[in-house]
Amino acid sequence: DAGVIQSPRHEVTEMGQEVTLRCKPISGHDYLFWYRQTMMRGLELLIYFNNNVPIDDSGMPEDRFSAKMPNASFSTLKIQPSEPRDSAVYFCASTDRTTGGNTIYFGEGSWLTVV
Amino acid sequence: AQSVTQLGSHVSVSEGALVLLRCNYSSSVPPYLFWYVQYPNQGLQLLLKYTTGATLVKGINGFEAEFKKSETSFHLTKPSAHMSDAAEYFCAVSNQGGKLIFGQGTELYVKP
């Protein structure tokens, strides 16, 4: 079975540009999470969705960040405008609470560098 | 609120020695507990988890962890370290609502 699929795997962009990260969760999973990993702050939960509805976005750092889940098989995390401090690895993850035993499966990450 | 504390950001062991990575949690509800491993430039992979039932849980690659409610701990162990175990390990807690809160991670170094 395909796991969580993220794109792009690597992106280098200039400060001020818009960045869009994409995620395809595992088919049938009803929860989707966006995490950010940095050396300074470790793994932070940014936002999560249940059945395509945002449940908790308290981890979104500021208004420059937005996330959407238009359907069960696709989500985006957008940063506009991007800043150097946004450089991090962004992970998408998904789970199925009813049958998945609360195991959250992670994608390989999107490595973002803002210069 | 839930939180996780991993004691020691770096742990170094010799190949063949016992691996012990410490994790303490705080939770106001019965927790679900997890250990994930991250190899360089890769995503996170589940090692093992505790939800209910037996407090000693076994995972992949010979790792195991024991849930001790009285100590609010979920330490990860492996009897004999292998060079391939070198990675970063994350302990995490969930309130059964799907949301995972991670510790800061412990980098494991294995010396030949």
pLDDT at B96 over 70: no
Residue in this structure with the two tokens 């849930």, named with its chain if needed: B67
The pLDDT of residue A23 is 98
Distances in whole angstroms, Cα of residue B84 to Cα of each of A83, A100, B16, B67, B91: 36, 28, 12, 25, 19
pLDDT band at A101 (very low <50, low <70, confident <90, very high): low
- Which tens digits make up the pLDDT trace of A88-99? 999 999 988 776
Q: Between A40 and A89, where is the model more confident?
A: A89
Query: What does the alpha-carbon distance between residue A5 and residue A92 come to, in Å, rounded to a whole number?
Result: 8
Of A56, A91, A97, Cβ closest to residue B43: A91
Mean pLDDT computed over every residue of chain A: 92
The pLDDT of residue A2 is 80
State the nearest Cα–Cα gap between A45 and chain B, in angstroms: 7
Of A102, A106, A107, Cβ closest to residue B98: A102
B105 inside 8 A of chain A by CB: yes
State the nearest Cα–Cα gap between A75 and chain B, in angstroms: 17
DSSP A33-85: EEEEEETTTEEEEEEEEETTEEEE-TT--STTEEEEEEETTEEEEEESS--GG
- Which tens digits make up the pLDDT trace of B67-81? 999 999 999 999 999
Contact A45 B104 (CB under 8 A): no
Question: Average of pLDDT values for B31-37?
Answer: 93
pLDDT at A82 over 60: yes
Residues of B in contact with A106 (CB under 8 A): 36, 43-45
3-class DSSP state for residue B41? Answer: coil
- Which tens digits make up the pLDDT trace of A46-73? 999 999 999 999 999 889 999 999 999 9
pLDDT at A100 over 60: no
